[in-house]
Structure 1
Amino acid sequence: MFSNPSATTSGAEPNKAPNFTHISRPLVHDRTNSNTSSSSSDVSTDAPNPDTSIYPDGKMSLAGISLRAMLLGTSLGLSASMALYLSTVYYTPLWRVPFFIASLSLFHFLEFYVTAQHNTRYATVSAFLLSSNGWAYNVAHGSAIVECIVSHVFWPGQTAAGRMITVTEPFFGSSVSLLLIVGFVLLLIGQVIRTVAMAQAASNFNHHVQSQHQEGHVLVNTGLYRYLRHPSYFGFFWWGLGTQLVLGNMVCFVGYALVLWQFFSSRIKREEAYLISFFGDEYVQYRKVTSVGIPGI
């Protein structure tokens, strides 16, 4: 793709006089050959160096990006189909596990896609957030799956508290936990707000806290940012809690709430210190009229 085109040379020779004549013909200079060679030399000298960041070991590796996108798409399709099958045809409460995996797959794909669409220079392999959050992030999701499986296999059925807050759904007349409904609502709202917030911030959004004021970095106070000063964090927090309610996990719900609250509390405090240094009184006034949307922060 990045190799220089090979120079083509002409094989034609100047016209030769027939042997039976004494007419001399002027020497014809083959300009095609010399121009082609010169052009080839210019191309090889002036061609820009390829962007090595898109090579397999680069931070924007095309191979790494395409592989992750394919795996996430495959995971989303298979897990969503399995969740639908296990919740309708062969009913079992364990449909929650593939549903959770489908939600994770969509979440991580959208993290990269929105970044690539609206802030392309930061569309690195790490923008998928599959490994950049550290080992604890993956342990948390693994623990959520384990709790769901264990609780529904060894303690099937709803708890006494769960039976007290159930409603009858209108289509099949079966009882549905209000916690499950609330979980779906939180998950959906959290994902939509997270994705829209990233898109509206565009080049001003970054997965890493910026300690220096970058060129073109402005204070976004329109759209969702008119009401929430950290809508992407708001979306992530409530999306995480929503997934645990859908899974029916009480232990992991408390764990997620504590860990996410601590993480965003620390991150927002550090980030806002930088934002005040960037924008001064403008950000101080903006902070007075907006909310984080996470209790206690």
Structure 2
Amino acid sequence: MSGAIDSIATGSQPFPEDANTSRYPGRQSRIPEEWHPSSLRPGRRSSDTPSTTSSDSAPAETDISNYPHGSKSLSGISLRAFLLGTSLGLASAVTLFLTIFTNTSFWRVPFFIASLSLFHFLEFYVTATYNTSAADVKAFLLSSNGWAYNVAHGAAMVECIVAHYFWPGQSALGKMIAVPVPFYGTTVSPLLILGLALVLLGQVVRTFAMAQAASNFNHHVQSEHKQGHVLVTHGLYQFLRHPSYFGFFWWGLGTQLVLGNVVCFVGYSLVLWKFFHTRIEREEAFLIRFFGTEYVRFKERTPVGIPFIR
């Protein structure tokens, strides 16, 4: 609707005088113009009719990045959330079925898929909740970590399937350190329990760290000090300098212990350690530039929680 509002014309000819006008000298009576359907044209309003401004009625402009293939594509976000939710539900159901009704170790693979689905969903969900302006398609971390990240997860599942298919029994080391579980009348390795604990611990710590950092958290190292960016030292950050990295590192190793992988456990350990060592070193150089002695003191009193990274 146009911002300008037109009024209805009152006509150019003078009104005829009322028969009683002579009784009241100096007063001219007003006789309404005869109404005609054409007098109210589309898009026109009477000047006596209250109206709203264009800012109240005009639709809000949609951010172009919300359109398909945009960085914040609504269709892309909804599709990824749907697929991750479906994957989480199906994988969890298969894990429970294989664990309860069969005597196979292959439940570990759908458990790994369920863990991955939950991890990537929470990456976006926490970002959207606590750091809304940064919530884009890449916040799921499904492809932004590079092809090597996805290859590593594929290799982990392949190793688990191959190992448990050709060597279904526990290794000699596994048998020595296995402990009985009377409830099921079977044995379970402490390495499996440790792996499950690390997966849970890592996920909880990373999720809470992202939430507590809120708008100060970013999936990418920031080279410029943006307005409003502050040094977070409360919550988990009182005890760990980079709790989100701590969570990711131990979560990754925990998944390999649950899968029972040997080769991928070593590979994950080396790759994750190298990645976080390089990233933390680069990131802290910028943080010292941003916050000066405040960050230096913070660094001195808080550990990273990843072996051999100080």
TM-score w.r.t. the length of structure 2 is 0.84
- Structure 1 residues 118, 84: closer, same or farther in 2, change over 3 A? same
Q: Which residue of 2 aligns with 1:86?
A: 98
- 1:115 positional shift: 0.2
Q: Tell me, yes or no, if structure 1 residue 26 matches structure 2 residue 38.
A: no
Deviation digits for residues 205-259 of structure 1 (CA, Å, limit 9, x no counterpart)? 0101000001110000010000101000000000000000000001100000000
Q: Tell me, yes or no, if structure 1 residue 239 matches structure 2 residue 251.
A: yes
Cα distance in structure 1, aligned partners of 2:168 and 2:44: 84
Q: Tell me, yes or no, if structure 1 residue 266 matches structure 2 residue 273.
A: no
Deviation digits for residues 169-224 of structure 1 (CA, Å, limit 9, x no counterpart)? 24123110111010001111000000000000000001010000011100000100
- 1:156 positional shift: 1.2
Greater mean deviation of Cα atoms: 81-90 or 113-122? 81-90
Q: Which residue of 1 aligns with 2:81?
A: 69
Q: Which residue of 2 aligns with 1:228?
A: 240
State how many pairs are aligned.
280
Q: Of 133, 152, 157, which residue of structure 1 is paired with 2:164?
A: 152
Where do residues 1-297 of structure 1 align in structure 2 (5 Å cutoff)? 26=33, 30=40, 33-35=43-45, 42=54, 49-297=61-309
- Structure 1 residues 27, 136: closer, same or farther in 2, change over 3 A? same
- 1:31 positional shift: 8.2
- 1:26 positional shift: 2.0
Unmatched 5+ stretches in structure 1:
6-13, 15-23
- 1:76 positional shift: 0.3
- 1:33 positional shift: 4.4
Report which of the two structures shows the higher radius of gyration computed on alpha carbons.
2
Q: Letter of the aligned partner of 2:175 in structure 1? A: R
Deviation digits for residues 242-277 of structure 1 (CA, Å, limit 9, x no counterpart)? 000000001100000000000000000000000000
Q: Letter of the aligned partner of 1:258 in structure 2? A: L
Q: Which residue of 1 aligns with 2:15?
A: none
Cα distance in structure 2, aligned partners of 1:234 and 1:152: 30
- 1:278 positional shift: 0.3
Cα distance in structure 1, aligned partners of 2:260 and 2:67: 43
Cα distance in structure 2, aligned partners of 1:25 and 1:251: 94
Partner SS for 2:253:
helix
Partner SS for 2:302:
coil
The alignment yields a C-alpha RMSD, in angstroms, of: 2.8
Cα distance in structure 2, aligned partners of 1:219 and 1:294: 21
Unmatched 5+ stretches in structure 2:
3-10, 12-30
- 1:50 positional shift: 2.1
Partner SS for 2:179:
strand
- 1:164 positional shift: 1.0
Q: Percent identity?
A: 65
Cα distance in structure 2, aligned partners of 1:287 and 1:222: 14
TM-score w.r.t. the length of structure 1 is 0.88
Structure with greater proportional helix content: 1
